[in-house]
Amino acid sequence: MASRFGHAPSMRGWRLKEGGSGAAGRVGARIVMSVEIWLEAERDQLVLWVPVALACGITAWLLLPDVAAWTVFLLLAGGTALAGLAMPGGGRAARAVAVFAGLAALGCGLIWARAERVAAPVLARTTVATFEARVVVVDPLPARELVRVVLVPDVGTGGALPPRTRVNIADADVPAGLAPGARIALRRG
Q: To the nearest whole number, what is the mean pLDDT of the chain?
A: 82
The pLDDT tens digits for 170-180 are 888 888 888 99
The pLDDT tens digits for 108-126 are 999 999 998 887 777 777 7
150-to-75, 131, 184 alpha-carbon distances in Å: 38, 14, 11
Question: Average pLDDT of 124-148?
Answer: 86
Say what the pTM is. Answer: 0.58
In the chain, the percentage of residues whose pLDDT exceeds 90 is: 34
The pLDDT tens digits for 16-64 are 555 456 777 778 778 878 888 888 888 888 889 899 999 999 999 999 9
Distance CA 133, CA 131 (A): 7
